[in-house]
Chain A
Amino acid sequence: MTDPIFGRLDLSSFAFVRAFDNPTVSELIGAGAAMAVVLGGLAVLVILTWFRLWAPLLRVWLTSVDHKRIGIMYCVLALVMLTRGVIEGVLMRTQQAFGLHGGFLTPDHFSELFSTHGTIMIFFVAMPFIAGVINYVLPLQIGARDMAFPVMNQISLGLTATGAALVMLSLVVGEFSTGGWANYPPYTGADFQPGPGPDYWIWSIVLAGIGTTLSGINFAVTIYKGRAPGMSFLRMPIFCWTVICASIIMIFALPPLTVAALMLAADRYLDFHFFTNDLGGNMMNYVNLFWLFGHPEVYLLIIPCYGMFSEIVPTFSGKRIYGYMSMVYATMAIAVLSFCVWLHHFFTMGQSANVNAAFGIASMAIAIPTGVKIYNWVATIFRGRIRMTVPMIYVVGFFYLFTVGGLTGVMLANPVISYQVHNTLFLVAHFHNVIIPGVLFGLLAAYHYWFPKAFGFRLHEGWGRRAALLWIAGFSFTFLPLYWLGLQGMPRRSVTFSDPSFQPFMWLAFFGAALILSALTCICIQLWVSIRQRDRLAAPLGDPWNGRSLEWSIPSPPPAYNFAVIPQVTQRDEFTDAKATGRAYAEPEAYEDIEMPNNTAIGLIVCVCATALGLALVFWIWWLAALSFCAMVAALIGRTFHTETTHIIPAAEIAADHRAWLARVGVAGAVNRLDETHERNAGLAIPERPARAEPAE
């Protein structure tokens, strides 16, 4: 029986109480993590109150519908979650380093760790980070004032934050699923895990997933309907093309996840038989549905990162991207192919060899467009004006390591090989090998590249280099040994092992994990140092890297309305051409009033209601579930009765701001590329044609 008020929430749900009753190392680590969440939360509250930051936080950030602020909030969320995810990864590596016949964690705790680690890294690090960068950069690159649906954008952020909050809360109350990031039934069904764990997974994924689908719609409509005049599809920067593909995946690949998770919820809550062992349930269909989402999902992660590399490589090589059209076709091909290969995640489930062969061949085919891209980037760098700044260090690490990961992927696409290494550490090595050098390096490079745009000062180079090199070394030491362990037959997700010959490789991996942890520390130090030295690193004029696309043609940070006057686009790499022909930094003929959306609290309200709803569902507190759901619907409907949703920024104000910036540009000293990382670089570049003429298209 459950309590009518508290549902199945009771004292033993709290990690502290569990650790008090049963003080093992495992429980104490759990309580320590819970303590970190609680203390972290309290610290934030105290700091906000002490420095009287509540009002600005609410007014400037949490109620903002500005795509730039929303993008930054996504990135902050992702970095916070990244910290937790990395700590969990390092903890697992530590356990396994000591894991010969034992270790210090219980099997259940270890299972919870890889489940939360996987879920967090995919859904609450990679996805929000990508959503953040897209949000920030996309409207600037296509010459728009905001997303197509700014308020919905805020709601998407709110729902993503809800999912992350639920995963964080699971540290303190109840426990998370032990079923891995894919949460396969029947093990996650009510028969085997009656507790709240899988329910946390379900609701955090479903709620965040709705936010992601809405984001996909927003990005797609922004690109289709919001481009500046003259910005035809084939003049868009490659990053925008990758966003189209990513939004296609967000729109069409999230539904299978939602369906699978809600069916699992029906099994768990209402005793349905979608995936149960008995009465005609079919758990294989869950696997099928999950990977219908899962495979496109990994491409949703990597494709925008390809786009980020495609912006960084030309900029720091001083050349236009090589093979624009082939890049576009390759991106589209990857997006569509990514929907045709999902079965390679379950070659061993029992279907006939013919089915396996078909999906194996389709999977290998993806290597072709991916190879095209790699060659294009290499050709872009070739004989370019190369600067080995921090983003370029990540790019080089990406080239080498991602190629290894891609090749092991082609190996795994062969069903015969997959039968051998399925479910071993070989697979763990493979997917980290594409995800860390591909997605994470891409995002960290993008963070460096666009940070000065967002905040008006550059990030500290020295600490950035240290972090980048440590990431590359740390990744290599941590994950390359796992290929060998996997080939030797060490299963993934094992808390202990019994073969002493594994031991040295475990220690190597442990050493690598320590390097990764120091890489993360360097990133934190870098942020701190850069903020302290922001005056010396300032680049407010907007163009620190001699950029090629429109976002570099405006001040840093950009005004709320982005462009004083919407630019007229004449070609690809518009800003490079504008600088070369002297069209850049020109005073427009006339300024006009600009209509911008008003701030609103609806995203915040949705976030609070959805978090309450998720918790209520996890702990069977039905009254709260009904209440929060109704409150959310009422708030959303109520919002539609508002008619005053925009305000006007007068032309005079815009003109004054814009002229002040132009005046500063006029007196500033422009720097050449040798001084890019020097104090002198205030964001005005000497337009520099590459030594040899750029080939005509």
Chain B
Amino acid sequence: MTDRQRETRMYLVGFGLALTLTLVPFALVHWGLMQGRTLAITIAVLAVAQIAVHLRFFLHIDLSRQKREDLQLILFTVLLLAIMAFGTLWIMGNLATRM
């Protein structure tokens, strides 16, 4: 297989995976196949999986040595974002329960 074919296939695989990961949660909500907490967690997991698919297949981020800088940057962003976003939810949620 040439480089070109391999790369094209990579995009197609990514597209297929992402489409599946989209179809499932929409179906779950549309037909009410799950409820409440389970559904919320399922949607969250599928979304994270799909984001990983986008990063891997469309943005070509991988664990190879050469691109460590980018990976570090992403992980660092995720760390800070987690601190900020979960901190916000924690603080504002705590305040809401005490109103």
Contacts and interface: CB of A to CB of B under 8 A. Distances in A.
Contact of A350 (B77, B80, B90, B98): B98
Chain B CB within 10 A, most for which of A224, A292, A343: A292
Given A339-B80, A339-B84, A288 B94 contact: no
Contacts of A355: 90-91, 94
Contacts of A342: 87
Contacts of A350: 95, 98
A54 interface: no
Given A252-B77, A350-B95, A351-B98, A339 B83 contact: yes
A351 B69 CA distance: 38
B42 interface: no
Nearest to B76: A248
Interface in B51-99: 69, 76-77, 80, 83-84, 87-88, 90-92, 94-95, 98
Interface string A291-305: 010000000000000
18 contacts: A224-B69, A252-B77, A282-B92, A284-B92, A284-B95, A285-B92, A288-B92, A292-B84, A292-B87, A292-B88, A342-B87, A343-B87, A349-B95, A351-B91, A351-B98, A352-B94, A352-B98, A355-B94
Interface of A: 224, 248, 252, 256, 282, 284-285, 288-289, 292, 339-340, 342-343, 349-352, 355
Contacts of B90: 355
B96 to A, nearest CB: 9
Chain A CB within 10 A, most for which of B69, B77, B92: B92
Contacts of B95: 284, 349-351
Given A339-B83, A349-B95, 19 more contacts: A224-B69, A284-B95, A285-B88, A285-B92, A288-B88, A288-B91, A292-B84, A292-B87, A339-B84, A340-B87, A342-B87, A343-B87, A343-B91, A350-B95, A350-B98, A351-B98, A352-B94, A355-B90, A355-B91
Contacts of B69: 224
A278 to B, nearest CB: 15
Size band of the interface chain B makes with A:
10 to 19
9 interchain residue pairs of minimum CB distance: A351-B94, A252-B80, A351-B95, A355-B94, A339-B83, A292-B84, A352-B94, A339-B80, A288-B88
Chain A CB within 10 A, most for which of B80, B91, B98: B91
A224 B69 CA distance: 9
A282 B77 CA distance: 27
Contacts of B87: 292, 340, 342-343
A285 B84 CA distance: 12
A90 to B, nearest CB: 38
Interface of B: 69, 76-77, 80, 83-84, 87-88, 90-92, 94-95, 98
Contacts of B77: 252
A248 B83 CA distance: 15
A350 B98 CA distance: 8
Contacts of B98: 350-352
Contacts of A340: 83, 87
B81 to A, nearest CB: 8
A343 B88 CA distance: 10
Nearest to A256: B84
Nearest to B96: A282
Contacts of A248: 76
Contacts of B88: 285, 288-289, 292
Contacts of B76: 248
Contacts of B91: 288, 343, 351, 355
B16 to A, nearest CB: 34
A220 to B, nearest CB: 9
Contacts of A343: 87, 91
A38 B90 CA distance: 49
A11 B77 CA distance: 49
Nearest to B98: A350
A256 B84 CA distance: 9
A595 B84 CA distance: 43
B93 to A, nearest CB: 9
A415 to B, nearest CB: 14
Contacts of B84: 256, 292, 339
Nearest to A249: B80
B8 to A, nearest CB: 30
Nearest to A282: B92
A352 B90 CA distance: 11
Nearest to B90: A355
A289 to B, nearest CB: 8
Contacts of A252: 77, 80
B92 to A, nearest CB: 6
A142 B69 CA distance: 19
A252 B77 CA distance: 8
A340 B95 CA distance: 18
Contacts of A285: 88, 92
